[in-house]
Structure 1
């Protein structure tokens, strides 16, 4: 007998056993099993639905100050991910940059004011829900490759100002290719479980002590700049390991190793040297930052000097942590 015939025979036997089991089981057992399955499915869909915090009818959510929003845009490093690849204008936010990860390849969306392919039809509430709740206007969870776990600590004034600034940028037609993810990771509702474990909506990781410069630096480093998203090691579910926060680790794209920026590694750098690096890209040892950090510096160089000083002040206050082994 051929192997295919043997497999067909085994499948036929299995089907017969299932039919016999169903025919011999009491009706109430079958009905109960079906009922339990339906209840489990309904509970899954109920408890994993995306829950936006803000309503478009909220009268407080109106467009803010575009000039202030430009500074938010720079501090949040929006163009590094959302600028259309292969063209020089960092304000053409057509998206599409391929971001490799252990979970597949993510492609940031078009966030230009184009009303069809971008976010031109969004309200301030839509932007607030994306940044603070990690929820799209379609009521879907965003993947945390979009750093809303850091942005969630943003003030509503900054969200309003950022919205106003984004509306001043050129519309870009066209949508990027979809994410390239294994089937297992395409079920966005399952992200509700990830959020339950690792996402604290509205909470900032910044340590606040009442010092104006320190606290401004904390907001820029922990929330807008989302520096820990790159300068930390992640667990198997893609969440930052708290013990490695700012201590460096493998590049999220798997292309190298991101440096430790706690005093364990750069404790010899002065605040002035850190602020200078954020302006020029030059390090105290006469080197230059590279890779994605060069894009970060292109943005921080345009911030007010007081903001670069605040970032340096906060970074110097970070607790020293040992660099994780690769």
Structure 2
């Protein structure tokens, strides 16, 4: 099992762990632009833990009727998204929100989910299993399955030093899933190669980069006078998110209580945070359509058009969302830049996990 996992990751890189090294879907030398991944002290990566998490991720056993897995909604070929506006759970139940991709999720150590209801991967991994509109299970039943399973129980025992099946808890499942997800590292897009001096942007991509990063703010630079996109305020490199919550002008709201989906405010109880959602990471964004928390936009062109138009009024709309004044050439260039965030090697290696 361990050698199979190592083969799937092609041993392209390593993550330090207790008693060995865990292969990553990225080469070690490609991670120099990234800060060290923050790993909880009580869940260090191990070969056994990552392998266990990988198999649990793709196993429908964790759902109430054993029909869907984490991998059903997080498909490797779509950078671990699902291509649907809203996720679908057991029995075809319609979810509340769009499924985000998981590239570099291990680096996103703050609040996860669109509304930030989980702090850290270990906590995030526990939610879908018990959600009625997702995997629809209950932890007593799921743990009963795992404690009786002839393969999984011995592996939990080995990975976490458990003495008897009754010691297996939901937290151990969350820890195994988190260990696996921390190996899903994307760092070899064209954008990354340009930053390393291994490639050069096309004219359109370079123009899009200038708009994305507001190069026009430099009055002496070559892009002076160009409209700014204001994108990097929220989508900050290297993971293209600042992990914060914003109202990006999707819906008009005369009163903050008018939002159909309360977003972050539904978790915190803060009126000022109603209608705010977490800024998603943009790595592999060209593969994770449709877009926004409710999947309402089918293409990147629609996304750019939304921001170019300045969005709808709400009292708490982000100050960075206003009419941009991009012409058609500039809007197309911005899309071209976003497409440089696609890491085809990440996708190829991730698909191999299913073999």
TM-score normalised per structure 1: 0.25
Larger radius of gyration: 1
Identify, as 1 or 2, the structure richer in helix: 1
Structure of higher RCO (CA pairs closer than 8 Å, 6+ residues apart): 2
